[in-house]
Each structure stands twice: as C-alpha cells, then as structure tokens.
With several copies, the nearest count.
Chain A
Amino acid sequence: MQVLYFAWVRERIGVPREEVETSAATVADLVEELSAREERYAVAFADRAALRVAVDQTLTDFDASLDGAREVAFFPPMTGG
C-alpha cells in the first residue's frame, strides 16, 4: 500500500511517500502499527486531532476500512485559499 505524508507530517516522518506492507484493517490500525515500528511515526501521529486522512484520495476518518485501499495519505488540516 502506498502511504503519503504532507506538510509537517511529511517533515516528521522524513519521506513524502513509501510502500508499506501491512494487513491493518482500518486507518487507526495502520497508525498504531506504524507508531509501534519507529519513534518518528509515533511522534508524527501523536495528536490525532491534528491529523486528517484520505484513503484513495478521498477524505475520511480513522475508522475507515483499508480493505482494497491502494493509497492512504496523512496530513494536517488544510490551509488553502
């Protein structure tokens, strides 16, 4: 699964995207799995209220299923316009 990071999430994790082998069922499961792997994920994902998530380029929440998902992205609240 492709996992993408933007803005300060990207900076904390250190890469803009990576291929992740996972059997996580939901976004929350993936966050826990990554956070357990390495400190930089734990730091980036520490405050979930400050995070937004998209699965296959559609905004969703941490309860979302990853069944069939090809691309998951984590980022802070948007600040466009």
Chain B
Amino acid sequence: MRIVVQDAPFDLGEEAGRFAQADAGVGAVVTFTGIVRNTAAGDLKAMEIEHYPGMTEAALTEIAERAQTRWSLSDVLVIHRHGHLTPGEMIMMVATAAPHRADAFAAAEYLMDYLKSRAPFWKREITADGAAWVDAKDEDEAALDRW
C-alpha cells in the first residue's frame, strides 16, 4: 500500500506502469484519475486545494485499509495533490490490484467515494469573478450508502 499527499505533479503513466508490475497473483489493475475540469463557461484560471496535514494521510490510510479488508486486493495506491492546479492537470489517482476484476473495480470505486467525502481536502475555483469554494454534492454523500 502506498499513500502519497504532495503538491508536486505526478506522472500517471509512470505510476500506473510501475503499479502494474505486480506479483504473479495479480490479474486485474484498475486506475482512476481525477483531472481539473474547466467550468462550463471555460473561465477557470486555477483550482486551489487545501488539506489538513497529518489527518489527510491518516484518513487516506484508513480508507485504503478498509478496502483491503473488504476485498481481496494485492495492492492499493493513492496519490492526492494539494496547492495550486490549472485546468487539465491531474488532481489525484487511485489504483487497485487484485486477482479478479470485480474486486479491483469495487475497491477503486469505494476508495473514490470515501476519498471524496471523508478525506480532508477542500477545493476552491479561481475564475475571472474571483475565488469560490466548491460545494460538496449531495450525490457524493449519497454514494456512500451503497457500501
């Protein structure tokens, strides 16, 4: 298991390639990557991500450990950036490796659902109109009910 919280960019290709150099029992690798999406108006200048140092790593570790208890997983990777990002930049990724695909998919979705609503990150969008905190979505909270 590897949990990384950093302000520096990460290389999805490098991370995914390295993660999938797995042991002989791995048959399935799922990755999810979150990317800074522009606003509908196309006027996003930047996204700033604040986090809670210390608690962030602990929360991500706990979420990953719960996923490992619940599904048969060979490995888990979580990378999440904070600080100043521009549209098109990668915010975060999770990766799961498992003997079977159903476990790898379910665990990746579980990690994402919990990471969205239970890991201490807060996004702020900077546009020509100024800065605005991104509101949590009811659907993200509701997504936890399925687990």
Q: Is the CB of A57 within 8 A of B121?
A: no
B70 CB, min distance to chain A CBs, angstroms: 19
Contact-size category for B = 20 to 34
Closest residue on chain A to residue B94 by CB atoms: A81
Cβ contact within 8 Å between A80 and B116: yes
| A7 pairs with B124, CB closer than 8 A | yes
In Å, the complex CA distance between A77 and B135 comes to: 8
A4 within 8 A of partner (CB): yes
**Total interface residues in chain A, CB < 8 Å:** 17
Contact A76 B55 (CB under 8 A): no
Which residues in B have their C-beta under 8 angstroms from that of A77?
Answer: 117, 135-136, 141
A59 CB contact (under 8 Å) in B118, B134, B136? B118
Given A6-B122, A7-B122, the answer on whether A81 and B115 have CB atoms closer than 8 Å is yes
CA distance A73 to B119 in the complex (A): 13
Chain B residues 85 to 125 lying within 8 A of chain A, measured CB to CB, are 91-92, 101, 112, 115-124
Is B50 engaged at the interface, CB distance under 8 Å to the other chain?
yes
Contacts of A10 in B (CB 8 A): 50
* B34, CB-defined interface residue at 8 Å: yes
B71 within 8 A of A: no
B interface, CB within 8 angstroms of A: 34, 49-52, 54-55, 58-59, 80, 91-92, 101, 112, 115-124, 133-136, 141
* A interface with B by C-beta (< 8 Å): 4, 6-8, 10, 54, 57-59, 73, 75-81
